[in-house]
Structure 1
């Protein structure tokens, strides 16, 4: 347990020390609009499952909701919120709020990077490796990285899930990954769906490739310099399904 911590020469209080000393935990990210969130039960399921795996105990739904309301305060109606469960003499719930994010309405450029996460099904707090990868590809002009094995088998994006359409079917990579909340909401779309191994070289043969995370749904226009097809019909159907997902109240 830290006794004292200093940031830029200033001694910080106990709550700031907690943020500095906790390096083990999990979290979920959500976009709040008008104090509502899509897929609240899915966020709670994620926190519950990860809590039991990492700490041997789930989460208190009332505490999680109370933390979200507290970080929003009386003034924030729209925000990007993260709820962390971290180890500090047992699991503790932390929440942060920042400016809301809307994904840019343009095709994304993505780059394959050979990297596989440990415990990929857990949304792990303090992910240095993924942040480093995202920053590296951004310096090269890419919007996102695709995490692959040495032979090019795709699992997920660094901060997204990847999906595709081919012949009217919705395709997902059959690989170890974090099944994001937005991905799980898109799985409810009323179209034939299939999980299959996907390699980077397969993407150019699909009708539409997209990314999804808590920000929303983003089309992919290019993978490592290779232009991809754009299917406006299927993309419109996908976005209409996502836009039609009900928002859950937090108050």
Structure 2
């Protein structure tokens, strides 16, 4: 498919893109469009609304974003990867205090395949700046991923200075303890896929809890998985030198929990 970029409902121009490219100050959300809409669309819109208020002093009405999405996706009937990014052209290093309603950039591209496991993760002491926000500052994430790949791991798992597990480079992690999913409690981004799985766990006979998980405790779990908007669940086979045996049947149940959430029309 042809990749497209719109800003505030119109095809992007080079001049229009420059503020978003140069400043690096902004927030975004990304998701997979399916026939009929998006799973968890309300969660993505809520995230954008909270981010806009915090970063720019003005919220973005859901219907405004929906209208821009409908324009960007016009004629699309199948699957696609969609990124919705907020930025304020008035903000710069010379004028960091600017406030106002942010512009809405929407990129539509080919659908992403799910991350495939089993994955080997390298723990790294790292915390994203303002971890509760899905912001445009991704240098540290890519650098961490590159370091993990150079060390023959698949990806990076972030831990705090006191060795609490938080999140991964572009995903959340969950641990399996019997029939319970354990989510780590630490400074991190609460993921939309994580919330969708959480919502559907009861339907597949699983429980959940959120508690601090230390790196040294990993070996005591029955398994682990990662999840993001393109990957409902992918098994983890190792964190550093600690092996994990994540049952394929558990991954199937987690994907089924995610599937209980309906596709929301845009």
What is the TM-score of this pair, normalised by structure 1? 0.88
Give yes or no for contact 2:218–2:242 (8 Å, CA) kept in 1. no
2:82 paired with 1:88: no
Question: Hey, what's the Cα distance between the residues in 1 that align with 2:61 and 2:135?
Answer: 19
Instruction: Show structure 2 runs of 5+ residues with no match.
Output: 1-12, 91-99
Deviation larger for 78-87 or 185-194: 185-194
- Of 203, 221, 229, the residue aligned with 1:206 is 221
Which string of whole-angstrom CA distances, capped at 9 and with x for unpartnered residues, describes residues 134-160 of structure 1? 222123332221111233211111111
Runs (4+) off by over 3 Å? none
Give ranges in structure 1 of 5+ residues lacking alignment: 1-11
CA distance in 2, matches of 1:131, 1:105: 19
Partner residue, 2:50: 49
SS of the residue corresponding to residue 112 of structure 1 reads strand
1:62-141 equivalent positions in 2, closer than 5 A: 62-75=63-76, 77-89=78-90, 90=100, 91-141=102-152
Give the RMSD, CA atoms, in angstroms. Answer: 1.8
Match of 1:226 among 242, 246, 253: 242
Q: Which residue of 2 aligns with 1:247?
A: 263
- Alignment size in residue pairs: 239
Distance 1:171 1:226 in 2: 18
Report the alpha carbon displacement of residue 228 of structure 1 after superposing the two structures with TM: 0.6
The alpha-carbon deviation at position 76 of structure 1 amounts to 6.3
Cα-to-partner distance string for 1:124-180 (whole Å, 9 max, x where unaligned): 113211121122212333222111123321111111111011021110111111000
**Alpha carbons of structure 1 residues 137 and 94: separation in structure 2 relative to 1, 3 Å:** same
